[in-house]
Structure 1
């Protein structure tokens, strides 16, 4: 197999490249060379996905059995469309990593692959979707852009040659967003730890290595398809996740479970101040049965936590990204909420009840 990875130097793209090389495949990566480092063994091609000349030069270096696109988050659908058209004759298949945000109903309702997508056209520019419409949920711009990008790839390659992967939250070694690393560092600090909602709340993060494996399996598949790439509903819980963080870091703290309404009352920013916490009913209700039937296997979340902690302690440094600074609650604010939850005074320095 010979594959082309659009991206290929950090987090998911790097995991895809590592897995492909481990399988003995020939790997080409295409990126600007400004984020991450090239993986030994891969052929690095420099260029800009929004430059027609760079795309033509890239296509001339084919053919490839498949393209795996992990790097289009900031691209408008029309740019994805132009790139896919440039590569159509040079590649057999196209694996596009999208997101559950592309669904009209996320995060407000349960989802399957047959759920309606948002209204992003294949030729939309970068501004499409910024204008809110009646009945809009919280997806808006990003979701419409990703839905349009999916349509762009289908338009260029045809649905039989395309696999669309729709993950929710991807965690694991190399994570650049900062969700799991923040929880691990918070567990390491110890004391009373503000734990959001109910410990039995189902969550569905997936390991970056498992997404990479499934992406390459789909690169070899004969048929097209769209797949929700999430952990099975109900298998993982917020309580199990945070207990795993405590286990990995030496159990220096204890969890103080705090009702959703108290967190909302204290204006805790959902999804960021306490990463992975969100009150919308559909956020962790995404069926992945179709992906599982196609061979997707999701390792236990505790294993992902352990691997990420080992990566951090071995000097792992994520690619710098502005989203990292968005995650985590201020110590003073956490202490104030813990105090309100317990009726006592909480030290802002170590989280102990006084």
Structure 2
């Protein structure tokens, strides 16, 4: 296929470009040109947030488009309109955050679950408005609603923070319980799925994330500790003790959420539709090992998206609790 990736140099977009090239596709990436493109990709430059920023796309034609945008939905709409009639298929990388979170109904979420309010001012609303904006493409549209995304080139900082913390070693706060189930998707598996879905012409929403219990908090941290040298003494701590200390789940302790309805919302999703359509998720050992290999190869720290908060726990607060 001739594939156009809107983005293509960051985290998920880079994974899509890398996998597409590895599978023999002709890949074009469109972005501002601030980072080196994946080897073998054709680069078109432009700032899609400006009035004339999409001009480099004029006159092109592609079999498939993959759009990773996650902010102002009008930016998605503009690209979808420009590409209408110039591509055979459009994939918008969305999020399972678009579903309505109800404290009283922790039932497994699937593609037919109620959605959040369209005027939600946060990330969930941005993604839902992005889904609607992508409809201006006017052709086959796939909504890839990803869960927690991990893997090499992560620019949110969740798994990289844990790897650096465990590398530092010593007594380490490990948020329990050890058998807390986790549901996530490796960016490369997300990429492979959307490429296959585009080739097959799939449309509509798909929850692209591993099965519930694909790994656990214990397996994640034990694996990360092992690959970084085994320097950390994991001190497993019950959730209430952590919460009572004023430590925020998800941000100060990345990836972790205490047992409860919010954890169930994020980690007990029904993924049967995506699995039936070909989604396969590699083991946590591969995701952690490959992320550490990438992180170790960097001359400095991992890249950090400017539009996302820096995650991680202050060492003084961790030491105080321990």
TM-score where L is the length of structure 2: 0.92
Gaps of 5+ in 1: 121-127, 131-140, 339-354
Could you give the per-residue CA deviations for residues 245-303 of structure 1, whole angstroms, max 9, x where no partner exists?
11111211222111111111111111111111123232211121111110010001121
What residue in structure 2 maps to residue 146 of structure 1? 127
C-alpha displacement of 1:324 = 7.3
* 1:138 matched residue in structure 2: none
Gaps of 5+ in 2: none
| Of 106-115 and 253-262, the range deviating more from structure 2 | 106-115
Q: Which residue of 2 aligns with 1:83?
A: 79
Task: Tell me, in whole angstroms, the C-alpha distance in 2 between the residues paired with 1:263 and 1:325.
Answer: 21
Alignment deviations for residues 153-187 of structure 1 (CA, whole Å, 9 cap, x no partner): 124324xx111111121111111111111111111
Question: Partners in 1 of 2:168 and 2:302 — Cα distance?
Answer: 20
SS of structure 2 residue aligned to 1:68: strand
- Which residue of structure 2 lines up, in the alignment, with residue 101 of structure 1? 97
Q: Is the 8 A contact 2:160 2:302 kept in 1?
A: no
In 2, the alpha carbon distance for the partners of 1:55 and 1:17 equals 19
1:321 paired residue number: 305
Find the residue that maps to 1:83 and give its secondary structure. helix
**1:8 pairs with 2:8:** yes
1:105-134 CA-to-partner distances (Å, cap 9, x unmatched) read 2787331111112232xxxxxxx533xxxx
**Distance (whole Å) between structure 2 residues aligned to residue 54 and residue 326 of structure 1:** 29
Counterpart check, 1:19 vs 2:19? yes
Larger Rg: 1
Q: Which residue of 2 aligns with 1:129?
A: 120
Q: Which moved more, 1:161-170 or 1:281-290?
A: 281-290
Q: Residue 106 and residue 287 in structure 1: after superposition, are their counterparts in 2 closer, same or farther (change >3 A)?
A: farther
Q: TM-score, normalised by structure 1?
A: 0.84
Aligned partners of 1:217 and 1:314: how far apart in 2? 30
With over 3 angstroms needed to count, the CA separation of the structure-2 counterparts of 1:178 and 1:106, relative to structure 1, is farther
Q: What is the alpha-carbon root mean square deviation over aligned residues?
A: 1.9
Q: In the comparison of the two structures, how many residue pairs are matched? A: 315
Q: CA deviation at 1:7?
A: 0.4
Residue of 138, 141, 144 corresponding to 1:162: 141
Confirm or deny that 1:306 pairs with 2:295. no
Seen in structure 2, the aligned counterparts of structure 1 residues 323 and 334 have a Cα distance that, compared at 3 Å, is farther
Is the CA contact 1:105–1:115 (under 8 Å) kept in the aligned structure 2?
no
What is the aligned partner in structure 2 of residue 64 from structure 1? 62
